[in-house]
A and B are shown apart, each in its own frame.
Chain A
Amino acid sequence: MALLSAVTSLANPSRFAAFAERLTPWLIGVTAVVFAVALYLALVVAPADYQQGETVRIMFIHVPSAWLAMFAYTLMAIASLGVLIWRHPIADVSAKAAAPLGAAFTFLALATGSLWGKPMWGTWWVWDARLTSFLILFIMYLGLMALRSAIEEPSRAAKACAILTLVGSVNIPIIKFSVDWWNTLHQPASVIRAGRPTMDPSILWPLLIAAVAFTLLFTTLHLVGMRTELLRRRARTLRLTAAASAPSALAAEPAE
């Protein structure tokens, strides 16, 4: 019960900002340590693939980025429900801060995939199903950011982006299915599947630790982004109140 009230008290924006400020240095430290371990495991400990050689190490960047690209959209969809159902300001701050991060991780997954594809498939880009789905996801992130920047008032932008995010989340499985049907060349999912993973533990463990490191990085960046957004909104409110009180002072002058 105490834990629950501690969590719900964070719904207050200024309390959330203070909490985020205290948590940020710790998160940065933990992220740096886990990243160092993950990179050591990925670049030194993990064996080179018998077919792909050293290029297989791109996977330790590529796969966690791809997971986070999808995780960010899921987070935005949940936050959008928060915007539309509870009209909560923190939910929109979270959705807004997650969009550029999701776009960045999607871009990272596409770019590393392209670098990996050159030695493996012999070309920088192939129109295979997964690559194409991720390109569409990237464009959807850009569209969401464009819609937000086109609407000046934050509360209207919040609702519009929430609706678009939810319409997109209904559509993503349909897009995924149709693009898979259209063409497939990429290897199927090999970590999460029924039964045992097809990956050797010597590669699987560094990959999972890299995924934890990337998730921590996302959490840190998201928290800092949310705090910046809260400050930006407070500054906007202050500017608006200052602007609202200024004309009345001007208007008072001619009356004298």
Chain B
Amino acid sequence: MPSPLSAVLSRDLALARGGGAGLGVVFFLLVVTVTPFAVGPDLPLLGRIGPAILWLGALLATLLGLDRLLQADHEDGGLDLMHLAPAPLELVVAAKILAHWLTTGVPLVVAAPLFAVMLDVGPQTSLKVAASLLLGTPALACLGAVGAALTVGLRRGGLLVPVLILPLAIPVLIFGVAASDPARDGFGPLGVLAGLALGYAVLGPVAAAAALRLLRD
């Protein structure tokens, strides 16, 4: 018999295989596509602001996808079973976030160097962007889980999650873009980003589980 956490993880991964997980990457591609229409097809300019565009696209793609993290489970009653599960709710939520990140965050990280080529960002810089996204997207997913838990069951939850979570995600954005800066050497911002990711990995599941417990009808 599998442990409750691996059961949640494999269930969510199986559900994600059913479709819908690629939508985040398509949204990411769209952000990258519409930016040249807004700022003009000037490749040197795009190359200079490329890391920022990639980070903004990944940030929005991560946060907009998060309202589905718990909503489907709320609708089909799975969330009630998770309340009754033998594992602590915090760990169940953490397992759900991990599954969500594996299916939506990792594709963004993989796609980022590819999209970087379209923006004329150099290979060195695009690797830096990918590395910073690898650390930053889990932090964003953990923060976003709090928003998802707070708005679970609300009819108008869609736009509310980004409004609640984007201000809190600003440190991740600042250090993520700083870590992608080609002019900056060393691992300072990347280290801070890793620290933020670890901190939010604790704060996110605990706060989200508290919200789910308190808001249970």
Contact = CB atoms under 8 A, between A and B. Distances in A.
Nearest to B152: A160
B170 A163 contact: no
Contacts of B60: none
A203 B171 CA distance: 36
A173 to B, nearest CB: 10
A32 interface: no
A167 B160 contact: no
B184 interface: no
B151 A147 contact: yes
A168 B167 CA distance: 9
B163 A143 contact: yes
B110 interface: no
Interface stretch (B3-11, B46-54, B72-80, B206-214): B206-214
Given A150-B156, A178-B174, A182-B174, A171 B168 contact: yes
Interface in B140-181: 146, 150-151, 154, 156-157, 160, 163-164, 166-168, 170-171, 174-175, 178
Contact of A150 (B154, B175, B196, B210): B154
Contacts of B166: 139
Contact of A174 (B163, B196, B211): B196
Contact of B150 (A136, A164, A182): A164
Interface residues of B, number: 26
B168 A156 contact: no
A179 interface: yes
B164 A163 contact: no
Interface string B182-217: 000000000010001001000100010011001100
Nearest to A138: B167
A238 interface: no
Given A150-B160, A171-B168, A175-B167, A84 B214 contact: yes
A170 B150 contact: no
Interface in A119-167: 136, 139-140, 142-143, 146-147, 150-151, 156, 159-160, 163-164, 166-167
Nearest to A177: B171
Contacts of B196: 174
Contacts of A139: 163, 166-167
Contacts of A50: none
B44 to A, nearest CB: 23
Contacts of A86: none
A140 B215 CA distance: 21
B167 A163 contact: no
Contacts of A177: 171
Contacts, number: 70
B150 A147 contact: yes
Interface in B111-152: 146, 150-151
Nearest to B149: A163
Contacts of B203: 167, 170
A95 to B, nearest CB: 15
Nearest to B171: A178
Given A164-B150, A182-B174, A175 B168 contact: yes
A163 B214 CA distance: 9
Contact of B214 (A146, A147, A159, A170): A159
A174 B171 contact: yes
Nearest to B150: A160
Nearest to B165: A143
A156 B174 contact: no
Given A84-B214, A150-B154, A167 B174 contact: no
15 contacts: A136-B170, A139-B166, A140-B167, A147-B150, A147-B151, A150-B157, A156-B215, A159-B211, A160-B211, A163-B210, A163-B214, A164-B164, A167-B203, A178-B170, A178-B192
Interface of A: 84, 136, 139-140, 142-143, 146-147, 150-151, 156, 159-160, 163-164, 166-168, 170-171, 174-175, 177-179, 181-182
> 5 closest Cβ contacts across the A-B interface?
A178-B171, A159-B214, A143-B164, A178-B174, A171-B168
